[in-house]
Amino acid sequence: MFWFDPMYFVFALPALILGFWAQMKVKSAFDKYSRVRARSGMSGAAAARRVLDSNGLYNVDIQPVQGFLSDHYDPRTKVLRLSPQVYQSSSLAAVGVAAHEAGHAIQDAKGYLPLQARTAMVPAVQFGSWLGPLVFAAGWFLMYLTRGQ
């Protein structure tokens, strides 16, 4: 007999729904404001460069990176990576995302403690996100083998 604990849904379902909802809100806002041109006419890359330069961060490089909304600042290499939708576009969404990411570089330069803590956790989180699906699959496999025993 196959056994499944319904309490799993009590814990897993709210987290899944909340994550999905948050992801949809971000994508929806980006889609909406990607149709609005920024008054400055600057691309996301140019806006990020202006924010960085105005804070004396001439050493931070800006590079394009593949993926939709995969924008991030890497404090280890001092590189701000912007997705094609942000790097090339002069939309309000692109400029906003680029300025937000440049803000992380400013936090890094000022030694902002929460950013340092986040940076320290990145390797463990990356390992966990790689290991998580394997553990999940192993759990289902073991549950099938034991058949709820």
Type of residue found at 84: P
Is the four-CA dihedral 38, 40, 46, 51 of positive or negative sign?
negative
Residue 87 CA, chain-centre distance (Å), reads 16
How far is CA 108 from each of CA 95, 103, 105, 142, rounded to the nearest angstrom? 20, 9, 5, 44
Residue 145 CA, chain-centre distance (Å), reads 37
b/e map of 39-73 (b: 16 or more CB within 10 Å)? eeebbbbbbbbbbbeeeebeebebeebeeeeebeb
Active site residue 101: yes
Instruction: Give me the catalytic one of 51, 52, 86, 101.
Output: 101
- Catalytic residue list: 101
